Structure 1
């Protein structure tokens, strides 16, 4: 996706253990804030940041995104998130592990409302979605004045169905850029394109 790696302030919503926030730090010189509602995950993220090369630029906040957005005096020119999945799925018995994969704590309406509050006028929001929910999110985002400008269809395997959507939004509508990528080829190996995109983050590559 065409994420603006030169932007000055980044925000990662639902950072978990901080992986995406650290990836952003690796690829930019920006100041990065990351929000995580689960206390144990937030603490692990803090530990991971302290033990990284980017501890001076990454800040972890243990809070709900709703509270963070209400209290934040900052705005961000790049916001990223891997939002909660499975809006209508059954709850898992292990609630602490699965809360981030359910929509009750951060409904799409609340996510969009918060993004609107902390995104700069020329900023971008980039998110990863399952195929069906991504299409729903695109339609809903437009009612909040956020328009999909980039769409990447992610196929689990070449010639297979689309498993995920990488979506990028801006406040001003413009012609949509569409791309496709496959994670694995027909032989089950990682595609050259996928390796090229992820090689900086995985020792296996």
Structure 2
């Protein structure tokens, strides 16, 4: 396995010690999330390599960009990636589980943007790699726990953005409503025009309104990105 860093246009990511490597989901979410409400404080839940936090540091003027990571090696690597970036003074990673973080922080100042590419494989199968399973299986951070915690940490006018399997979309919306969070924007993702829906990008807030719903197709053919996807990620990928 290559130990070379993954290089983006404005930062690089070391990922040799992380169980979950950089993938399309994280890049998608970091590029898709709206910053129109000019968040001053951001929290990346389950940061892994630190990818999404770094993307938001590049995209925003937020003075506080925090991240949480429970797995030891990923935490150390995220800290390293933050320190090696141009935005180290705005980035901070907590070595903690989300439940304990919520318990300690829910009475503090709220975050204007919460964002998470959460673990979501809930089937009984495990890969046999403990670190990879912790990073990618839903029992490490159940959807219910994630959404409930987000509702306690989110500022009144903030939003909470996630990427999950399309099959989990209705469940997530139902859970969120139980915690006074409502979908304002949903983008459903297909690999190609003829492939089934694979992911849902959802932006929740405390404002109940009719959500804007659209679809995004990633590729025309293998490694040939659609214009829509290229536009979304052009500020990050070196070859675009």
Could you tell me the TM-score, scaled by structure 2's length? 0.82
Give the equivalent residue in structure 2 for 1:43.
76
Deviates more, 1:178-187 or 1:9-18: 178-187
Rounded Cα–Cα distance in structure 2 between residues aligned with 1:180 and 1:110: 27
When residues 115 and 189 of structure 1 are mapped into structure 2, their CA distance, relative to the original with a 3 A threshold, is same
Query: Cα deviations across residues 163-184 of structure 1 (Å, max 9, x unaligned)?
Result: 1110010112101101111100
Correspondence 1:142 to 2:177 = yes
Identify unmatched segments of 5+ residues in structure 1: none
Give the equivalent residue in structure 1 for 2:186.
151
Q: Which secondary structure does the structure 2 equivalent of 1:120 belong to?
A: strand
Rounded Cα–Cα distance in structure 1 between residues aligned with 2:225 and 2:115: 25
Query: Cα deviations across residues 117-169 of structure 1 (Å, max 9, x unaligned)?
Result: 11011110000011111221111111111111111011101232111110010
Rounded Cα–Cα distance in structure 1 between residues aligned with 2:163 and 2:85: 25
Q: In the TM superposition, what are the counterparts of 1:116-135 in structure 2 within 5 Å?
A: 116-135=151-170
Rounded Cα–Cα distance in structure 1 between residues aligned with 2:169 and 2:119: 11
Count how many residue pairs are aligned between Structure 1 and Structure 2.
Answer: 205
Q: Which secondary structure does the structure 2 equivalent of 1:185 belong to?
A: strand
Superposed CA RMSD = 1.4
Could you tell me the TM-score, scaled by structure 1's length? 0.95
CA contact (8 A) 1:158 1:186 kept: no
Correspondence 1:172 to 2:203 = no
Rounded Cα–Cα distance in structure 1 between residues aligned with 2:121 and 2:70: 18
Correspondence 1:93 to 2:125 = no
